[in-house]
Each structure stands twice: as structure tokens, then as C-alpha cells.
Structure 1
Amino acid sequence: MPAPRRSVLLGLAGLSMLPACAGPAQAQWPSGRGTVPDFADLAERVLPAVVNIAVLSEQTTTQIPPELRGTPFERYFRERRGRQQVQGAGSGFIVDPAGLVVTNNHVVGNAARVVVALQDGTELPARVVGTDELTDLALLRVEARAGLASVPWGASGAVRVGQWVLAAGNPFGLGGTVTSGIVSARGREIGAGPFDDFIQTDAAINPGNSGGPLFNAAGEVIGINTAIYSPSGASAGIGFATPSDLARGVIDQLRRDGRVERGWLGVAVQDIGEEAVLGGRNRGVQIQSIERNSPAARAGLRPGDIVTALNGERIETARALIRSVAGTPPGQTVRMTLTRDGRSRELAVQVGRRPGTAG
């Protein structure tokens, strides 16, 4: 019986193998039947900005061998053996020559020490500027004597299914590795969180690739490699990358504030089913419940209201509403169009701060 498929985060931990340009590249790839793109020039341009990330975390060991208990060696064990260094690895990329490095939150975790290794072997201690658990992103800073090679952001919204992409990183601790493939799908939801909107690719992505970049033909980062779907834990040709259009705003906030603040209404919502739409109800998002003293409650929203637009833009899914509100700065007022008792109306709602994001 085959092993169940599963979604796997790509941080690499506990492997003994642990020791993955300024300006966009103008890659011209051949087209036509029987031709294959040559990634050599592209790889040469972008690899200097791709880094390996090693993490050291302290893990308390509470168990003492029974034969040492009550002996003079017990104290020695507690002092010298009571704490272990747990080593792991991942990937990242430099987005600013001053030393800003993007990676995944699950790569750095609660690391006591983070070391970034450049392609030339230079190792630099890194400081965690900020992390965001909901999008699994983290921003690091390293200090270098000279400006570092960096890569630019690209627009993931312009990515098309079937487009060639290049993944780079530190799979299985091997470092400096590139793989190629195409965009297999967009907008994938894999149950990672409320902001699932992954780019799917068949470029080989493996444990240790976490936090590494996914490039388009111009050498721009259009995704951050985050997870794979696999029966074995290794690449099965189904990898997922956080789109740059989502990541860039999060990284900008981490750079500016060291944290991410998100808008919040305090409602539970669900999609309007196709049967309800066919029955004459408006397509939109139905409010199921409202938290007491929440922004939604203060604005006069009610259970049963069907939200159809936010600031004039159509809203058709609960996920779209959650993302739109989360992307609104706390304190800003939005115009919500809704249907109540068969009639359309508008309410002004002042967005609050999502609980747990206050600094």
C-alpha cells in the first residue's frame, strides 16, 4: 500500500551533510519546437545572491541516565550535557546589498544563532530582524565589509502557467544548487494558513530549499520556496512557493517595523454555496458570527449579512475577504457593500488590529 501523500515544510534539520546580481538579467530563451532553454547565464547572474543558512538552537535535555543519579557525576552531566545544540539548514536570498536576507520563518524558528554562508564560502553571523508566522517569512540582516550581490523582486501576478522558472538553494545541505521547471499552477491552497496562495512548480525542490528563491527568466524573484507535496519527503515534482506579490509587502513591514500588523474585523465567514446563488441569492461571503466589541460589532454588521464588495471591489470568497481586510492598515476605514434582508446597503467599518500582532 503506497505511503500517504503529504505536504512537507522544507527546512533541513539534523543532517550530517550540513558543512543552498545586481539588477534584472535579460535572459533570451529560444522558442520553437525541439529547443530547450539554457539556464547557464541566468544561474551565473543570480547565484551570488543566494545564500545557505545554518541555525543553532538550544534544546534542554532533562533526562539523566539512571546510573548517574545521586552520584558526583550528576552535576557534571547537568552542567556539561544538559544543553544540546540542534543544527539545521535552509536557504535564502539577498534583497539589499546592505545585507538584508529573506528566508522562511520555519528555517530560523527560535534559533539561538544564525549563520549565513555566501556562495564564495564566506560565513556571516545574522540577526533576525523579524518573522511572520502566518506567511512563513523571515528577514535577516548580516554585516559585510562591502556591498553584497542582490536580486530584485518580480511581479508574481504576471506569472503564467507553463512559464519556465529556476529554483535555487541548499537542498540536503549541498548548497549552490539550481533546478529548472515550469509553473504548474497558481493560487494553490495547501492548508498552510489563511494566506495560502502558492505558486506550484515542477522544478525539483527538496528539504533544505526552504527560503530559497524561485526566479523568472529575467532573474527576478517571483516566489519563495516553502513546501513540497510528496509521499517520501523528497521532490516528487510538486513544489510550492509563496508569491512575491504577497511576500514583498510582508518583508517591507518587517524591515520597517520588525513585525507585521494586519487588519481585523472580528467575524466568522463562509462562502455562499453555488446552490444558494442558483436560488437567487447574491454571490458573496456570508457572515456567520461576530465577536463582541469587535470592529464589525461596532460598525453594525450582523450574522446573515452577505458581503459583496469592499471599497467597490467584488468579494466572492471568504479567503478573498480575509486577505483584503488583513492587508488594510489597522485604523483605516473601509466601505463594505452587503446584502441584508434582500436589500443592498453600505457600511463604513474601521478596521482593527488582528489580535497577536501588536508590538
Structure 2
Amino acid sequence: MKRSGLALVGLLALAACERPATAPEQSPAAPAPSTSAQVPAAAPASFPEVYERVSPAVVSIYAVAVETPPAVIYDTPFGRILERRPPVRSMSSGSGFFISAEGYIVTNDHVVGDSQEVIVVTTDDRKLRAKVVGRDPATDLAVLKVEGRDFPHVSFSRAANPRVGEAVIAIGNPFGLGTTATSGIVSAYGRNIGSAYVDFVQLDAAINQGNSGGPTFNAQGEVVGVNSAIFSPTGANVGIGFAIPAALAREITDQLIRTGKVERGYIGAGLGDLNPRQAEALGAPQGGAVIASLASGGPAARAGLRPGDVVVEVDGERVSDAADVIRKVSRAAEGARLRMRVVRQGRAVDLTVAPERRASSAGMR
């Protein structure tokens, strides 16, 4: 696939193939034109104080997986020979960060995956064995736990999102090198890069393989995103990285800590995006999501939705595409009743849907 002459090599799983060289052991420029715009006092030229304060909470993560290759059968003049291959041990590296003094760590799901062993290395070079508390592949988030107490930790921001153009600092473990800081700005919000459940934040801070699961901080030292993927023609940073927003990451990790799994609203409807020609044919406005299929007896079918209906609003809010509908439905509280406006044969119809709950595909282990 090409975009602006460059091949798309990510939604790159940043930590998936990164292997450290050694596995950790246990235990005068022209003046700028004048402008009336004022730089906010909170926007720093650099981040040394923030780094010194938050970096002890950032960790490097090494996940060990052992896979047994399938046996191979050879036909020989003497009959068939079955060759069993020995298990293959691999190690990937990534990043994470403590969110509590009790040892809970946030990272990406693709960092730990189905690994048999996870080792966490702190900035003071302690090597700790970690347990996977819970995983949520749908948002690419996971929570780990190490034994101990009084760990340095950081918090997710509860303030409004940083504005586009605002300075941020990312900290992680690129290429297995260890704790590394890079800075940049928030480039955009609402990037849809393949997950129906995440509106990604786009950043231009340097993010590379091994940065997965690491935090991005604002000028106050609060986590505003969990680094997850990059867009790159080379596999290395080109200034387009993506992070899971703090509000969603906080919501998901809270559920994983409490129950080891994530439950989401579900209405039993297959949704598709509309192109302009389809919208015109269905008498619908631009945007929205068309009902492509319905689960028999599911919440959407019981509420009276039909294939061909175009969902244009959920609880009074306009929706832009299928992913937007899925995100709104998935975040519905237990017992909620969602008001949906659909366009059916050119006419607006209002329906109420009561979502059911469905657990994530990967839970505690």
C-alpha cells in the first residue's frame, strides 16, 4: 500500500520483534517573525524536571515466549519418518510504567502477548518477575503486577486533552537500549488506524521498536497516552506515532486490575461505513454507519433495527463512521439504554437499544 510515495509498514507492533543483545538476568539563526499569539506558561522548552520526576516509574519489559514448531513428516524409501523439532525460545522487549506503589504496571498487550515469562527492569536496574493480571487485545492494553511495595509511580491525566501543538515527552526502551526520553508535540486526535475501540492520539515524538507500552507525559508529568504503534516506510521513526488516550487507558486498566477482564456494550449488529454513493442511494446524510447484518434475537434486532438502516446519532451525538458507533456502544454502562437515530428509506426513525455486556477475548492468567 502506498501513501505519498511511502509504503505503509505499521500499524507496527513496536515490540514484537525487538530482541536485546543480552537477556536480562533475574534478580545566529534568523529571528522568528513577530506574532501576537502567546506561548502558554505551561509549555516548556525542555523537560529535565519532568524527566527526573517521572522516569523512575518507567520500566523496560522483556517477554519470553517458548514455541514448539510442528513436527515434520518425511517420506523415505524406508517409510515415513517423523521429525520432532525442539522448542524455540524467543524474547521481545517493550516498555511500561508503574501506576501504583503496590506494583501495578501498564503496558501494551502486544508486548506481553502469550509469553510464558515476563521480566521487568527498573531504572535502578532491579530485575523483577511480573505476573500478567489481565489483557485487552481490543485496545492493546495489559496490566502486570510485581511483588513489592513503595514503587515510584505516575498517574493518568484527568484534565482535558493537551491541545494539538502542545509539547509532550515520551519515555521508553527503544531497541532494548533502556530508558530513553524523546520530546515532540501532539499532532492530531481521533486517528483511526484499525482499532474499532481506540481513537488514537498522533504524536511526533520519536517512537521506535521497544517503545510500545511506554508513557507519553504532558508538561505537568501526567500520562496523556500509552504509546502503541507507528506509521513508517522503514520500520523506524519518521515522526508519526500513535498513543492510546489517557482517559481510555485509565478506564481499561481499572477494569483489568479489578476483574482481570474488560466488559463492553454489545448490540449484535454488523456495521459498515458509507461512501457518498451509498449514502445517496439510502437517502442518508454523509457519515454514519449502515447496519449490514443483525444477530438473531440480539439487542439491535429486538429494538427494531433493520439491515440497511443508517445510524446517524447515538444518544443525541452525531456519529462519523462504524468505528464511532462501536466505541459509543462499547462504553455504555451496564443497564444503559441508548437512543439511536437511524435513517430508513430516507426518513429519520428513533429507536432505543439496551446493550448487553460482553467480556474481552483475553483475561487474567
Distance 1:237 1:18, change over 3 A: farther
TM-score normalised according to structure 2 size: 0.82
2:137 to 130, 133, 136: 133
Amino acid at match of 2:20: L
What is the correspondence of 1:42-61 to structure 2 with a 5 Å cutoff? 42-61=50-69
- 2:175 counterpart of 1:175: no
Report the equivalent of 1:258: 260
Contact residue 102 and residue 138 of structure 1 kept, 8 A: yes
Report the equivalent of 1:303: 307
TM-score normalised according to structure 1 size: 0.84
- In 1: Cα distance, 2:357 partner to 2:132 partner: 24
- In 2: Cα distance, 1:209 partner to 1:166 partner: 12
Contact residue 49 and residue 151 of structure 1 kept, 8 A: yes
Q: CA RMSD in A?
A: 3.2
- In 2: Cα distance, 1:142 partner to 1:110 partner: 18
- 2:192 counterpart of 1:189: yes
Amino acid at match of 2:242: F
- In 1: Cα distance, 2:356 partner to 2:166 partner: 39
Of 222-231 and 104-113, more deviation after overlay is shown by 222-231
- In 1: Cα distance, 2:87 partner to 2:309 partner: 55
Q: Deviations over 1:141-183 (max 9, x none)?
A: 1111x31111110148522111111000111111111011111
- In 1: Cα distance, 2:120 partner to 2:105 partner: 9
Identity %: 45
Residue segments in structure 2 that go unaligned for 5+ positions in a row: 25-37
Report the equivalent of 1:89: 93
How far is the alpha carbon of 1:278 from its aligned partner? Answer: 11
Contact residue 265 and residue 332 of structure 2 kept, 8 A: yes
How far is the alpha carbon of 1:310 from its aligned partner? Answer: 2.1
Amino acid at match of 2:343: T
**Residue 9 of structure 1 aligns to a residue in which SS?**
coil
Report the equivalent of 2:229: 227
- 2:161 counterpart of 1:158: yes
**Residue 45 of structure 2 aligns to a residue in which SS?**
coil
Contact residue 188 and residue 199 of structure 1 kept, 8 A: yes
Report the equivalent of 2:203: 201
- In 1: Cα distance, 2:217 partner to 2:250 partner: 14
1:39 to 47, 53, 63: 47
- In 2: Cα distance, 1:279 partner to 1:128 partner: 47
- In 2: Cα distance, 1:190 partner to 1:131 partner: 20
Distance 1:213 1:356, change over 3 A: closer
- In 2: Cα distance, 1:278 partner to 1:156 partner: 43
Amino acid at match of 2:190: G
**Residue 231 of structure 2 aligns to a residue in which SS?**
strand
Amino acid at match of 1:189: N
Report the equivalent of 1:320: 324
How far is the alpha carbon of 1:197 from its aligned partner? Answer: 1.6
**Residue 88 of structure 1 aligns to a residue in which SS?**
strand
Q: Deviations over 1:102-143 (max 9, x none)?
A: 000010011111111111011111110100111111000111
Distance 1:309 1:177, change over 3 A: same
Report the equivalent of 1:23: none
Contact residue 129 and residue 258 of structure 1 kept, 8 A: yes
How far is the alpha carbon of 1:48 from its aligned partner? Answer: 0.5
How far is the alpha carbon of 1:206 from its aligned partner? Answer: 0.9
Distance 1:57 1:277, change over 3 A: same
**Residue 138 of structure 2 aligns to a residue in which SS?**
coil
How far is the alpha carbon of 1:235 from its aligned partner? Answer: 1.2
- 2:151 counterpart of 1:143: no
How far is the alpha carbon of 1:15 from its aligned partner? Answer: 3.2
Q: Deviations over 1:202-223 (max 9, x none)?
A: 1111111110001111111111
- In 1: Cα distance, 2:151 partner to 2:306 partner: 53
Distance 1:273 1:4, change over 3 A: closer
- 2:338 counterpart of 1:334: yes
